[in-house]
Amino acid sequence: MEHIYRPGKDNAPTLILLHGTGGDETDLIPLGTALNPNYNLLSIRGEVNENGMNRYFKRLAEGVYDEEDLEYRGQRLLGFIYEAAEQYQFDLKRTALVGFSNGSNIAINLMLRDKAPFKKALLFAPLYPIDASTSKDMSDVDVLLSMGKNDPIVSIDQSEHVINLFKHQGAQVTEVWVNSHEITQAGLQKGQEILNS
């Protein structure tokens, strides 16, 4: 997979950066640096091309996921992250997923997988309109959900669905409500708090 790996300080944790629709592996590097300039950064480009825009999985329409493709792409992405950890010698148990929009959505798919090692996730403008309840115990997982009160893409009901998805698995959920489909300073600051906890 096309990606950027930027090493941080020795023995630093790693942020796995997942961009929004139409973005690429360079988009969230500034966010990763702002979250913690000492961390390793692994930023991965989505492999699906939708009308010239990069995404992590196919959709059938706006807000309607191709669930079969989502499962396939999620498994493939998780496999790549394992390979990257071996190649770049970073500790998978000390990684955090950082996603925006479509990147947050594939991150949710990764978090719900039984073999996923991730204990922290910072998810900006997430949307997961499928029934994805599992019996996975997430009591040792911290999740930031930054959601828009006036998001033109994600309704408040859909945001609450994502909140409940994690809470039902026992995750520690921090909510940040912003205005729209965006990454804000408030979300960034809460993200830093979670990474430092």
Cα–Cα distance measured from residue 75 to residue 93, given in angstroms and rounded to the nearest whole number: 18
Q: What are phi and psi of 148, to 5 degrees?
A: -100, 130
Best CA proximity match to 184, nearest among 140, 141, 150: 150
Secondary structure element (H or E) that encloses residue 75, with its range: helix 67-88
CA distances from 59 to 1, 51, 86, 127, 170 (A): 20, 12, 31, 12, 29
Query: What residues are labeled active site?
Result: 101, 151, 181
Angle at 8 between CA 182 and CA 116, to 5 degrees: 65
Q: DSSP assignment of 110-161, as one string?
A: HHTSTT----EEEEES----S--------TT-EEEEEEETT-SSS-HHHHHH
